Structure 1
C-alpha cells in the first residue's frame, strides 16, 4: 500500500467523520497547521502547576477563578487537583516553563440521572504567551479528550466580563447564556469515532516527543553553559597566576 495515499485517506476520513458529527470548529488540515504540543499533566507536575497559577496577575486570577484568589487559595486548589478523576493539560515553552494550563473536571460518578455526561473546562495562559491561540487550542484538545471518554457536554462557568473565554466557546459552537455578572457556555459533543481516537493518540504522541526534545535541548544547553563557566574560571585563574 502506498503510504501517501493511506495518509490522504485518513485525513479525508477524519474530515468526513467530523462533518457527519456536526462539530468541526476548524478544518482538520487548518487545525494541524496551527497545532501546538499539549501534554497531559500528572501528580509529578503539581509544583509546575502551582508556579504557573501563582504567576497569574491579580486580574487574571479573578477571571480564571471568578474571585481574587490569594496565593494560599491557589496552592490549595493545586493540591486538590484529582488526577485520577479529572484531566489536566499543559503547554510548555522551550525552557519547559508551563505557560498554559487547562483543567477538565468530570462530574463525580455517578453523574446526574437523566442529564448528559458533562465535564467543566477552565484554562489559564500567562500574559507573555497570549495572542497565539493557546486558549482555543486547549479547548479543542479538551473537547476531543472528553468526546473520546463518552462525555456529551462541555461546560464553562465564567464571569461575563471574561470575553476571551466566552469567545472561544462561541467560536467552537457553544451556546452561551448570560445571567448578570456570570455566564455559562454549553457545547454538545459528538460521539467518539475511530478518527477521533486516532487524532487524540497522534496528538499525545507528538506532544510527548516535543517535550522530550525540549528536555534534551535544555540539558545540553545547561551542560554547554557549565563548560563555558568552567572555562572562564580557568582562564581567569590563569591570568591571575601570571600577574
Structure 2
C-alpha cells in the first residue's frame, strides 16, 4: 500500500512486537551478503524511472501496491509527490538500467501510536519479469537496515490481507502481523544500530554504486558497438548497390 499515506493503526492497545535477534546476527549478515543484490538509493533525478516502473505494473499489481486500482494519473501524482529529503526510495536495476523493483521507506514526523516513537512505513513493487528472485525480501532487509541505522525502532507495513507475498516477507523477517478483515498490519521491531550495521550499510551502498556505474558504462559501450555495426552495415549495403 502507498507509503506516503500511512493509515493509523486500528488498535493502539496492540502489544508491542518483539525483536527477532536471529534476523540481525552474524549468520544472517553473511546470508545477506551471500545473496547480495545491488540496491541503489534513488533521488529526484530518478522520478521518471520511478514513474515508468509503476506505470508498468499490471492492474492487479497496482491494486496490491496501493490498496486501490491506481490510475496512470494517480501513479504519476504519487511519483511526483515523493519527498527525497524526508523519505528513502531504493531501487534495483537490471542490465539495461530498467528499474525492475523499488521500495519506499516513509519516515513519519509524528508517532502512529500514542506514546510510541514514530515508525517507518514500507512499501514495495516488483515488475512481473523480475519476480521469483527475492527482490522484495532483499529490499525489505535493506530498508530495515537503513531505518535501524537512523534510530527507528519499528518498521510498519499496511497491506491488503490478500497480498500474501508482502505479508510473507514481513513474517519471515520476524514481524508481528495483525489481520483486520480485508487489511493487515505488520510491525517489525528493529534492534539498535551498531558499528557493524553502519559498516554493512556503507559497503552495500558502495557496491551498489559500483554495480550501477559498471552497467551504465557497459550500456554506453554496447550502444557504441551497435552504432558502429549499423554504420558498417549501411556502408556495405551502399557498396553493393553501387556495384550493381
So what's the TM-score if we normalise by structure 1?
Answer: 0.89
| Alignment pair present for 1:164 and 2:165 | yes
Query: What residue in structure 2 maps to residue 189 of structure 1?
Result: 190
| SS of aligned partner of 2:23 | coil
| Alignment pair present for 1:126 and 2:132 | no
Query: What residue in structure 2 maps to residue 3 of structure 1?
Result: none
Query: What residue in structure 1 maps to residue 209 of structure 2?
Result: 208
Gaps of at least 5 residues in structure 2 are: 1-18
Q: Give a deviation string over 1:191-220, Cα, whole Å, max 9, x none.
A: 000000000000000000000000000000
Gaps of at least 5 residues in structure 1 are: 1-19
| Alignment pair present for 1:41 and 2:42 | yes
Structure having the higher helix fraction is 1
Query: What residue in structure 1 maps to residue 8 of structure 2?
Result: none
2-structure distance, mates of 1:108, 1:238? 68
- Do the aligned residues in 1 keep the contact of 2:109 with 2:118 (CA within 8 Å)? no
2-structure distance, mates of 1:21, 1:61? 31
Query: What residue in structure 2 maps to residue 12 of structure 1?
Result: none
1-structure distance, mates of 2:118, 2:175? 16
Query: What residue in structure 2 maps to residue 22 of structure 1?
Result: 21
Note the C-alpha offset of 1:57. 0.1
The 4+ residue runs of structure 1 with deviation greater than 4 A are 109-113
Higher RCO structure, 1 or 2 (CA under 8 Å, sep 6+): 2
1-structure distance, mates of 2:110, 2:39? 26
Query: What residue in structure 2 maps to residue 99 of structure 1?
Result: 100
2-structure distance, mates of 1:38, 1:232? 39
Query: What residue in structure 1 maps to residue 15 of structure 2?
Result: none
Note the C-alpha offset of 1:117. 2.7
Tell me the C-alpha RMSD between the 2 structures. Answer: 1.6
- Do the aligned residues in 1 keep the contact of 2:40 with 2:92 (CA within 8 Å)? yes
1-structure distance, mates of 2:125, 2:71? 16
2-structure distance, mates of 1:23, 1:48? 36
Alignment length, in residue pairs? 224
Note the C-alpha offset of 1:110. 7.7
2-structure distance, mates of 1:128, 1:110? 37
1-structure distance, mates of 2:231, 2:106? 48
2-structure distance, mates of 1:74, 1:132? 25
Note the C-alpha offset of 1:111. 7.5
| SS of aligned partner of 1:27 | helix
Query: What residue in structure 1 maps to residue 6 of structure 2?
Result: none
- Do the aligned residues in 1 keep the contact of 2:20 with 2:189 (CA within 8 Å)? no
- Do the aligned residues in 1 keep the contact of 2:110 with 2:118 (CA within 8 Å)? no
